[in-house]
Amino acid sequence: MEGRRLVYMDHAATTATAPAVVEAMLPYFTDHFGNPSSVYKIAREAKAAVDEAREKMARALSAKPEEIYFTSGGTEADNWAIKGIAFANKQKGNHIITSAIEHHAVLHTCQYLEKMGFEVTYLPVDEYGRVDPAAVEAAITDKTILISIMFANNEIGTIEPIAAIGALARKKGIYFHTDAVQAIGHVPIDVGAMQIDLLSLSGHKFNGPKGIGALYIRKGVKIDNFMHGGGQERKRRAGTENLAAIVGIGVAIERVTASMEQEAKRLIVLRDRLRDGILEKIPHARLNGHPTERLPGNMNISFEFIEGESILLFLDHAGISASTGSACTSGSLEPSHVMLAIGLPHELAHGSLRMTLGEENTEEEVDYLLGVLPGIVERLRTMSPLYADYKRSCNV
Ligand SMILES: *Cc1c(COP(=O)(O)O)cnc(C)c1O
């Protein structure tokens, strides 16, 4: 094995903060530490920096700056959007429509609301992980107040028909929220053209800092506050602004948007090289997610007879950081809700490997993975009783 090389292929989990972003943030911890709510010079400078970041974020979404509210991340933005709409509109109805493959920040928030008397429809998806807009329409009742469908899935990378669902929601007068944490900075988003009312995003998924995100709230949307306290964020999200991180997320979004088109093309080539190489070299492997309607950096493949967790350990030993769809929650070996929703049987749902590429990944790294993975899979299969059974059945 070669030295101590490190190949990071888990960009859907988090990304490194870009050096230019760190550099832009640093002065806001020290020289420019003012509280944006105060009145003197260093405070006004801090306020100006927050305003500038807000403008950058608005530009990236084709939104207005006053429609951007900074939060502590994607999870808070999802919680705010869903609970805020539910509580502010409960006189109108108590029904929410979402999908079975949402991030837990959406699913667990909806489950909490069910305990509070709301009704939630969890729409199924097709074998590629796509939500059918016709199914959304069919699920709407006169009590529906919110539709929340993610822009792109974090496990299998499938991109949802957001503009179609947005058009439908607008026509019916129902609020439409999308968790765009995986999509922003990687695929074009226009909240106006796509008729999105609320959109969640997070800094650390596009080479910005952790602990900072934003909720886009279209002007005129009726939503309750989530954080109560001071008058920050135009009296809608209390708490002293995370100044340095806000500066950082502004630089990060500007940076990733500027290179998005080119970088997407580059990543699609690498992604498809990964897919073709794996499916060519390794038998009994299956692509998860949509063949083309997927995030540029996402590849997810299931391997029969073995467990994704074991593959990860061997990959880690070879210096490769990747992920699995069956990330077991606190030791329990429950397969991922996404893998089950696309109809994978339990065995395959456990055998999935997610490789998510980002800006520092190269063709050489992809080829390095393609060099080591077949041996790992073969080794694990020789230890697998399921594979032994299969071989025996073939010989009969
Ligand atoms: C990462 C992620 C989140 C959570 O964002 P945080 O900033 O880590 O709280 C929510 N939704 C999706 C789709 C994600 O990938």
Pairing of strands 95-99, 144-148: parallel
Query: Average pLDDT in the 22-37 region?
Result: 96
Tokens of 273: 């090289």
Positions at the binding site for [2Fe-2S] cluster: 328
Q: What angle do CA 373, 378, 382 make, to 5 degrees?
A: 150
Please, where in the chain does CATH 3.90.1150.10 lie?
7-15+259-393
DSSP label of 60: H
Among 16, 43, 227, 328, the one annotated catalytic? 328
Share of the chain above pLDDT 90, in %: 90
Tokens of 256: 């990733």
- CA separation for the pair 110, 104 (Å, rounded): 9
- For residue range 118-141, what is the model confidence (pLDDT) as tens digits? 999 999 999 999 999 999 999 999
pLDDT band at 330 (very low <50, low <70, confident <90, very high): very low
Given this model, what pLDDT does residue 349 score?
A: 86
Query: Average pLDDT in the 77-102 region?
Result: 98
CATH 3.40.640.10 is held by the domain 19-258: yes
Given this model, what pLDDT does residue 325 score?
A: 66
- CA separation for the pair 219, 38 (Å, rounded): 26
Positions at the binding site: 74-75, 154, 182, 202-204, 240, 328
Q: By alpha-carbon position, which residue is closest to atom 8 of ligand 1? A: 74
- Which ligand 1 atom sits nearest the alpha carbon of residue 213? 7
Share of the chain above pLDDT 70, in %: 96
- CA separation for the pair 36, 42 (Å, rounded): 8
The yes-or-no verdict on residue 359 having pLDDT over 90 is yes
Q: Which residue has the tokens 């539709």?
A: 147
Q: How confident is the prediction for the chain on average, in pLDDT?
A: 95
Residue 129 Cβ inside 6 Å of ligand 1? The answer reads: no
The yes-or-no verdict on residue 3 having pLDDT over 90 is no
- CA separation for the pair 168, 357 (Å, rounded): 33
Residue 182 Cβ inside 6 Å of ligand 1? The answer reads: yes
- For residue range 264-321, what is the model confidence (pLDDT) as tens digits? 999 999 999 999 999 999 999 999 999 999 999 999 999 999 999 999 999 999 999 9
DSSP code string of 76-132: HHHHHHHHHHHHHTTTT--EEEEETT--HHHHHHHHHHHHTT-EEEEE---TTSPPP
Query: Average pLDDT in the 40-60 region?
Result: 97
Residue 213 Cβ inside 6 Å of ligand 1? The answer reads: yes
The yes-or-no verdict on residue 1 having pLDDT over 50 is no
Tokens of 22: 């760190």
Annotation: CATH topology of 7-15+259-393: Aspartate Aminotransferase, domain 1 (3.90.1150)
Residue 394 known to be catalytic: no
Given this model, what pLDDT does residue 348 score?
A: 85
Measured in Å, residue 388 CA sits from the centre of ligand 1 at 39
Please, where in the chain does CATH 3.40.640.10 lie?
19-258
Given this model, what pLDDT does residue 346 score?
A: 80
Measured in Å, residue 203 CA sits from the centre of ligand 1 at 9
The yes-or-no verdict on residue 328 having pLDDT over 70 is no
Residue 351 Cβ inside 6 Å of ligand 1? The answer reads: no
- For residue range 375-396, what is the model confidence (pLDDT) as tens digits? 999 999 999 888 988 888 887 5
